[in-house]
Structure 1
Amino acid sequence: MNRWTLLLAALGLVPTLLQAEPGPFGIGSCHINGRSVDDYERWVPEMREIGIGYQRSLMTHWGAVEPEPGKWNWENVDAQWKYLHDLGFETGTLLIGTPSWNKKDPPGHLPVNHIEGWKEYVRQTVTHFRGKVSRFEVWNEPPNFTGPNQTPADYAKLVVAAYDAAKEANPDCEIGLTAKSAHIHYLKQVIRAGAADHFDWISLHPYEVLDGIVEDAGMECAYLNIVPTVRRMLVAENPAKRDVPITFTELGVDAVRHGEKAQAAALVKAYVMGIAQGVENIQWFEGRDGDSGPMGLLDRDGKPRMAYRAYSRMIKELGPNPEPMGWLQVGETGLGFAFKVNGQPVVVAWVPRKESETVTLPDGCRSVGLVDRSEATSGELRLDGLPVALHGLPSSWIGKVRQIRGGLPPWPGDPGSYADAKSVSIDFSRKPAEQGLHRRSGERLAEAIVAYGGSARAGDAPGGNLFTVDPAFLCYDPEPIRITAEVRRKDPAVNAGFKLVYEGGKDFKTAGGWFTVPPEDGWHTATWTIEDPGFVSYWGYHFRIESDGPKFSQYYLRRIVVEKLDGASR
């Protein structure tokens, strides 16, 4: 034991910690914070102190445990496992890597040309950790960290080999299928390429969708739709696996780019909405700043950030294993998520998109700020983008809770229902401008830009041309659509134009060709017909209007419409 562990033991805290179930609260690390016990000692005790119970991975890179062919070295990873175990952590681990001595596969490639060697690596690793590690994640973020020409079929080959070898070594172990971001289409392709029935759980890293929440773009609905969309894909592609656990083995926010308060608020929202939709475990990236930038709960010097303290308060208020009940509207614009904690309901609430409102708390209700540490009882509460935990709400409030699978919350500022709609749109000449179609930068930024006639949007506005449709309108299914945009040049003498890039059934694709905005005065219409949309928001949006540099984006956008097509309207 290190000094921190000895101190906990002296205080009588270690037995309590060891009895805790891992629950949904996890943590991960970059390379330089996860190579050895010495690395762990710089940050892991602080994670356990606040109640985190699951750590993502040991240093089980193929080349690390088999540095030479047939020679196995477990000393370092055994020490890592013991250190974590003694602190009360449960851990999974990665199956990853191409050792330097493998001449058949270049570094950074999936080792598909040395499958027998890969299988032996998996067999040895699973055997060695039998009874200690049960979950094994195959690779990290594919198609990231794979060869430039390697395909979903290559990854499928690796998954199948790992599954067969792992089950031979330990039938009770669990093999994880994974993909970068929330790339559900990649998972679909891997399953179709042969990985069906060869996985026990799924891992995703939805950084980009979470960024839409950090940036106050109102992406809560898209984030809440990740698990339902994965389930929808599994029903279609591998029904036997429709209910496998889903984890987020990486998810984080840059504390310098967005600020510590925004990072802390995003952490709470990520866990609250993740648990609400059925994510089994979220492993925040990361515990302490390392080689991936200022993402840590602790900074590079080991000083706790606001996110560390918010994580601690969240676990304290929700307990180690909160039971999700569903969502409810709080006031006019607030969004709340209810959990059963020790048999009693607790609601975590905030107002999306930098809005705020005053709500009246019933008698006997207590609020606890999870980011700013504010506390109040009954009376008026100013609710904004910082999550608060509400205790003691009466049955009249809790009776309004709806389960996620029964319907997602409405998009902030857009109370419409689009499940049966034929079209969704943005029209800057009306209020609200967004009706079932939303920009990542949101209506607030649109209003801040003086555009033609006061009712249009500048095409060169920062980050402005990313669009997301309400998932109730269209999600995953390749239903044919038509997208129409009304545009005009800022200056008739200055050339302007763009192309439309959309999320298709495999990846992003360009629809049609380049559209040059006509120089004539007045509004002009650009139209695209898309037969194969695959809107799952794996980069946090569904389509974009893209110009080749600022000089071609000198146009105004007044209106854009997405409509579903039937056979007669194509």
Structure 2
Amino acid sequence: MRKLFKAVVALAAVVLVSASLTHMLRPDSGHSRSIPVTETAAVSSLGFADSWLWFLSPDDVNRQLDLMVDTGVRSARIMMPWAGIEPNPGEWNWGQADLIVNAANARGIAVVALLNSTPGWATGGGPAIAAPPAAAEAYGAFAGAMASHFAGRIAAYELWNEQNAVQFWAGPQGPQPDRFADLLKAAYPAIKAADPNATVVAGGLSPTINFFSVTMNPVTYVERMYAAGAKGFFDALAFHPYLFTNNAASRFSTGQANSPRGLYNALRQQMAANGDGGKQIWATEFGEATSKVDEATQAERIRDFIVTWRTLDGAGPAFIYTTRDRATGSPNPQDNYGVYRTDWTPKPAADVMRSLA
């Protein structure tokens, strides 16, 4: 019930925050910086999921990427918000995206670009950032432009984020697997036409339950996604196996009924039933906030997840959310998922990742 309450509160806040987020997503043109460009590396088995890079200064982008390298990590799933890159139709602002991708490539870090955050002009009247695009074709055009601009520099594209929850698919109807399938059908061929070597990943699903029009169980979602014709329009499926519990004994490895591990198994079955048993599931986010548990527990849960994930049939790369706290000590969990503190010092989880990278 705690999760459901949070989901409802988040829905109520969507409209209030969309305007400020739209402003934040607009990159400063002064952030352009000349960095040697090298062709991207392949996605490795362990990476960081880091959505906050978009909001950092050039110096802090480089410093944060250096933290990844120091941790032994050579892959990063990075938000590339549509609203920041194409704030108005046909108006392209590549400054911050180029800065991040070039800096990652220069360090041998393979980039997985998360394409989400609808600009206001493309929502058809819904809240900017959180609402899905009104026309799948517009999203497909954006994805194709990204792949054309970054061909050979971005290794993979993840299409949307937690689309089975209203926080990231805002609207009165809630999650819509059929409309998401339309996004895949529009974006997949556009990306492949521009960069045939890029991997296309269907957006990371939240480990939630069917609850009216607020959230949809990821297994139900994938079943309906396939029914809407999604097969053939993604190379891998993404899942976010967060534990969402303060229970000190909680582990990803326990595999209890309806747990993230149990949902993983059911997702594999759903993919196999639709002829996609040979495709991987990528964990594009997993983490634990140190405002909910202590740093030692965070480290242990991350270790347990990585070690267990690597034993699962069909498991692809895993990305730990996230590199560095936004505000260490804040009561807001979203500020404390980092394996490094805001002052750049490591938590025990950084040593865990380094030992397993």
**TM-score band w.r.t. shorter chain:** 0.7 to 0.9
Matched, 1:190 2:208: no
Q: Equivalent residue for 1:215?
A: 248
Instruction: Tell me, in whole angstroms, the C-alpha distance in 1 between the residues paired with 2:228 and 2:308.
Output: 32
Instruction: Tell me, in whole angstroms, the C-alpha distance in 1 between the residues paired with 2:123 and 2:286.
Output: 34
What is the TM-score normalised by the length of structure 1? 0.48
Q: Equivalent residue for 2:169?
A: 146
Q: Equivalent residue for 2:80?
A: 60
Matched, 1:172 2:197: yes
Q: Equivalent residue for 1:90?
A: 110
Contact 1:250 1:285 in 2 (8 A): yes
Match of 2:186 among 161, 173, 187: 161
Instruction: Tell me, in whole angstroms, the C-alpha distance in 2 between the residues paired with 1:85 and 1:180.
Output: 29
Instruction: Tell me, in whole angstroms, the C-alpha distance in 2 between the residues paired with 1:257 and 1:147.
Output: 27
Instruction: Tell me, in whole angstroms, the C-alpha distance in 1 between the residues paired with 2:104 and 2:281.
Output: 23
Contact 1:122 1:162 in 2 (8 A): yes
Contact 2:243 2:251 in 1 (8 A): no
Instruction: Tell me, in whole angstroms, the C-alpha distance in 2 between the residues paired with 1:85 and 1:185.
Output: 37
Q: Equivalent residue for 2:19?
A: none
Q: Equivalent residue for 1:265?
A: 300
How many correspondences in the alignment? 294
State which structure, 1 or 2, has the greater radius of gyration over its C-alpha atoms: 1
Secondary structure in 2 matching 1:175:
strand
Instruction: Tell me, in whole angstroms, the C-alpha distance in 1 between the residues paired with 2:156 and 2:243.
Output: 26
Secondary structure in 1 matching 2:120:
coil
Query: Offset at 1:34?
Result: 5.1
Q: Equivalent residue for 1:123?
A: 144
Query: Offset at 1:227?
Result: 4.1
Match of 2:132 among 110, 115, 128: 110
Query: Offset at 1:235?
Result: 1.7
Instruction: Tell me, in whole angstroms, the C-alpha distance in 2 between the residues paired with 1:224 and 1:101.
Output: 39
Query: Offset at 1:30?
Result: 3.5
* CA 79–252 in structure 1, closer or farther in 2 if over 3 Å, else same: same
Instruction: Tell me, in whole angstroms, the C-alpha distance in 2 between the residues paired with 1:249 and 1:257.
Output: 21
- Higher strand content, 1 or 2: 1
Which runs of no fewer than 5 residues in structure 1 stay unpaired? Answer: 1-17, 316-570
Query: Offset at 1:61?
Result: 1.4
Secondary structure in 2 matching 1:276:
coil
Q: Deviations over 1:248-301 (max 9, x none)?
A: 111101123211111111111110001111422111011000172211111122
Matched, 1:234 2:271: yes
Determine what percentage of the aligned residue pairs are the same residue: 24
**18-27 or 252-261: bigger deviation:** 18-27
Query: Offset at 1:168?
Result: 2.6
Q: Equivalent residue for 1:304?
A: 346
Instruction: Tell me, in whole angstroms, the C-alpha distance in 2 between the residues paired with 1:90 and 1:174.
Output: 12
Q: Equivalent residue for 1:70?
A: 90
Q: Deviations over 1:317-368 (max 9, x none)?
A: xxxxxxxxxxxxxxxxxxxxxxxxxxxxxxxxxxxxxxxxxxxxxxxxxxxx
Query: Offset at 1:21?
Result: 6.3
* CA 105–168 in structure 1, closer or farther in 2 if over 3 Å, else same: farther
Instruction: Tell me, in whole angstroms, the C-alpha distance in 2 between the residues paired with 1:216 and 1:32.
Output: 32
- Higher helix content, 1 or 2: 2
* CA 70–21 in structure 1, closer or farther in 2 if over 3 Å, else same: closer
1:154 maps to a residue whose letter is R
Secondary structure in 2 matching 1:248:
strand
1:220 maps to a residue whose letter is S
Matched, 1:293 2:328: no
Instruction: Tell me, in whole angstroms, the C-alpha distance in 1 between the residues paired with 2:68 and 2:195.
Output: 30
Query: Offset at 1:130?
Result: 1.1
Query: Offset at 1:23?
Result: 2.6
Query: Offset at 1:139?
Result: 0.6
Q: Equivalent residue for 1:202?
A: 237
Q: Equivalent residue for 2:319?
A: 283
1:84 maps to a residue whose letter is A
Instruction: Tell me, in whole angstroms, the C-alpha distance in 1 between the residues paired with 2:45 and 2:73.
Output: 9
Which runs of no fewer than 5 residues in structure 2 stay unpaired? Answer: 1-38, 209-217, 328-333
Q: Equivalent residue for 1:23?
A: 44
The two structures, once aligned, show a CA RMSD in angstroms of 2.7
What is the TM-score normalised by the length of structure 2? 0.75
**198-207 or 275-284: bigger deviation:** 275-284
Match of 1:245 among 268, 280, 285: 280
Q: Deviations over 1:450-471 (max 9, x none)?
A: xxxxxxxxxxxxxxxxxxxxxx
Instruction: Tell me, in whole angstroms, the C-alpha distance in 2 between the residues paired with 1:199 and 1:40.
Output: 30
Q: Structure with the greater relative contact order (CA < 8 A, sep ≥ 6): 1 or 2?
A: 2
Query: Offset at 1:217?
Result: 4.3
Q: Deviations over 1:483-522 (max 9, x none)?
A: xxxxxxxxxxxxxxxxxxxxxxxxxxxxxxxxxxxxxxxx
Query: Offset at 1:157?
Result: 1.3
The 5 A counterparts of 1:379-528 are: none
Instruction: Tell me, in whole angstroms, the C-alpha distance in 2 between the residues paired with 1:51 and 1:307.
Output: 13
Instruction: Tell me, in whole angstroms, the C-alpha distance in 2 between the residues paired with 1:78 and 1:196.
Output: 32
Q: Equivalent residue for 1:313?
A: 355
